[in-house]
Amino acid sequence: MQLQDILFSQGFGTRRVCAGLVQQGWVKVVGADGEAHQVFDSTASFEPVGLHFEVQGVPWHYAEKAYLLLNKPAGTECSQKPSAWPSIYTLLPAPLRQRPSKSAVQGVQAIGRLDQDTTGLLLLSDDGQFIHRMSSPKKQVPKVYEVTTKHPLDDSQVARLLDGVVLDDDPKPVRAAAAEPVAEDHLRLTLLEGKYHQVKRMVAAVGNRVEGLHRSQIGAFHLPEDLAPGQWRWLSEADLSALSTA
């Protein structure tokens, strides 16, 4: 695969822009000796799988599809065109936002949306099948939320969340898969679907109010403790396996 095509596939710009980056000496490719070597020929061929390179001094690796984790901070929107708060996409490097796609939307996409004041585990990808598998209610991938409530929780409220509450836009009761009281105002809630403002509306339906909301887990994958709010990283094969484990 030509180097300019590799760079294009990773989101570094049009093929012409990528060719220019190489010809101007901004690209180095890591060789078998582990050293980064400058390349000036944009049509030079490389095996893309496992390829590591640098663009303008920034290390990168080839990925046919991108699978990312972001620790979403408060005060951000999961939208390419935010209305009032900064977009979560501004926290990502430009190539991840510009990766070419067969669809009308370029770059990685957030898998589901968290409200602007909700924090925690957010997945992003440009793999349509993975996005569907993680977000479709039919797949029943459990998502765990740490809920801080305004008023102390009682047993009857927890029981109602497990039995099911009716939300105003759906006559069918919505149930929590699990509801574990952690403290008098802290509930660990597990859901298998993702309706609009679902956690907040469910808690309101049992006579309480959400004061803080944080997603801590998807499937068997926990938000890493060493990933600070606003930071992101690539998902490993082990991470992807944990995400597929209910």
pLDDT, one tens digit per residue, over 84-108 is 999 999 999 999 999 998 877 899 9
Pairwise CA distance, residues 105 & 44, whole Å: 29
pTM for the model stands at 0.93
Integer angstrom CA distances of residue 192 from 92, 118, 119, 195, 218: 28, 18, 18, 10, 10
pLDDT at residue 246, as a whole number: 61
In the prediction, which pLDDT does 220 show? 94
Beta-carbon count within 10 A of 188 CB: 16
Given a contact cutoff of 8 angstroms between Cβ atoms, the answer to whether 168 and 196 are in contact is no
**Longest C-alpha distance within the chain, in Å?**
69
Residue 233 pLDDT: 97
Residues of the chain within CATH 3.30.70.580 domain(s) are 67-138+221-243
Q: What confidence score (pLDDT) does residue 143 get?
A: 96
142-218: CATH superfamily: Alpha-L RNA-binding motif (3.30.70.1560)
Q: Which of 102, 105, 103, 109 is nearest to 126 (CA)?
A: 109
Give the domain 67-138+221-243 fold.
Alpha-Beta Plaits (3.30.70)
Q: Which residues share a beta bridge with 60?
A: 53
Apex 11 CA angle, 10 and 17, nearest 5: 115
pLDDT of residue 124: 98
pLDDT of res. 102: 81
115 has catalytic annotation: yes
Cα–Cα distance, 125 to 176 (Å, whole number): 27
**Cα dihedral 74→78→82→86 (10° resolution):** 40
Question: What six digits make up the tokens of 135?
Answer: 């977000």
- Which homologous superfamily is 3-61 in? RNA-binding S4 domain (3.10.290.10)
User: For residue 176, what pLDDT is reported?
Assistant: 96
pLDDT value at residue 206: 95
Catalytic residue among 41, 115, 127, 154: 115
Question: In the structure encoding, which two tokens stand for residue 156, read together?
Answer: 């009857």
Task: Tell me the H-state helices in 48-197.
Answer: 94-98, 128-135, 155-163
Digit-by-digit pLDDT tens for the chain (246 residues) are 999 999 999 999 999 999 999 999 999 999 989 999 999 999 999 999 999 999 999 999 999 999 999 999 999 999 988 889 999 999 999 999 999 988 778 999 999 899 999 999 999 999 999 999 999 888 889 999 999 999 999 999 999 999 999 988 778 899 999 999 999 999 999 999 888 889 999 999 999 999 999 999 999 999 999 999 999 999 999 999 999 876
CA dist 217 and 212 (Å) reads 16
Q: Where in the chain is the domain with CATH 3.10.290.10?
A: 3-61
